[in-house]
Chain A
Amino acid sequence: MSAVYELEDVRHIYDGRTVIDIERLEILEGEIFGIIGPSGAGKSTLLRLLNFLEPPRRGIIRYRGKPYSAASMPSLDVMREITTVLQKPALLSTTVFHNIAYPLRIRHKRPDPQQVASMLQRVGLGKLSHVRASSLSGGEAQRVALARALIFGPRVLLLDEPTANLDPANTAVIERLVREFRAETKMTVVVVTHNVFQAKRLCDRVMFLNEGACVEVSDARSFFESPKHAMSKAFLSGEVIF
């Protein structure tokens, strides 16, 4: 498997504080890659860097072989292969249909009502097409946000604590959808979560991030069964408070 992302000496600084400092990291094509770690570890910042929402202060982020840095950020066309679903759905104050059609519209593709309807069907909201987004429940809204991210077939799907505000039923639906779509489209998924069990259920490989630095990367099974690093061990046994 080839790498989608290769990070080389990436550092990021907010207000003089180093929040990301990663020497080397590879994320592989088609895998579900989990980022776990205590709050304040820099997980969300790393996700923003991977989506190129802001340039890294230092270092190179190689995406599909091409190097990007603060001096050369990717074009809009490249950015349009990657998308993020945030912890809070951040829907537009229009109808559900318009929200899901939005990514197609901005890519100057005519939204096919058939396509939107079948996507809604898959996330279990077939009847809510013309409902105002503001009237949805939290779980419904997050499913719309996921449908909106998937409608245009992204190569990379970044998930930032996608189920942190949801009940177990909605969490299960979101996780199932992510697995199904990954299997169908072979997209790469990077998921930030503080939920160890979710990472266990979902991920192929896992990274433990602490204070912006990569503590440990390994495949999920061995990470959860026999973590190598003392800090990972402490985290998994609940000794690190997050």
Chain B
Amino acid sequence: MKKALLLLVLSTIMFSGCFLWDARGRAQPEELVLATTTSTVDTGLLDFLLPEFEKEYNAKVRVVAVGTGQAIQLGRSGDADVILVHSREAEERFVNEGYGVKRYDVMYNDFVLLGPSFDPAGVSGAKTIVDALGRIASRAGTAQGVVFASRGDDSGTHRKEMFLWDKAGVGAPRGEWYSSLGQGMGDTLIMADEMRAYVLSDRGTYLSMKDKLKNLSIVFEGDEDLFNPYGIIAVNPEKHPNVNFRLAQELIAFFTSIHVQQMINTFGVDRYGQPLFFPNSEQWWLEHGGE
């Protein structure tokens, strides 16, 4: 009985504490959780874009950088308010199952095939990425030093790679030459550099790490199959009433606005001589025609 009373008193104190906190924190920024892939953080893009949003909306965006798989899972469980990822199929499933409200195009970047500069599989002569991967798979058994490092973490990049292997008729690659690492893009690039391995990477992460990757260079690029669109989706408040849907919608409007699209288009140019991401929102295309 005494214990119960004590418990009651304690919980009362704690609850009133919470309310006091709230009252005092009214001027504090609103929080928004953005689950996204490592590439948007590793390249520094979000650090470039978000401060303006946070200032304008008195918001604090907490960025959780994980693989696309986990990012979508975080949206599914209501742990994130909004997701920014690049795996078209998974994004559409996320919306169709009712977890996301609507998918908006934000930007795209492209993938490049990296490899040791001596190119033991002779990939640089290939016409398409499918052809290039086919060469790696078929020469891996015979030629010395042909090895491939894969993200292997169910990320957007990994899913893209698996899709391309399938298209090249290799199926799910296995063997001594194929290393499924289960790591993020940056870690995978460092390992591939050590291993002198071929690796599929998004261009942005590669460019941002280029000076650390002494043994890797682009051996194949430019195929339409390497196109990599990013979508942004607010988590459905009907599934998870606790999410900050209003602020999520504001973030989407912010990312797709002409102003921010222009910022994306210039991001990285000063450092790498080329943009890391290309604008791709509906507004942008309305303004700039095309498609």
**Whether chain A touches chain B in the assembled complex (some CB pair under 8 Å):** no
Residues of B within 8 A of A (CB): none
Residues of A within 8 A of B (CB): none
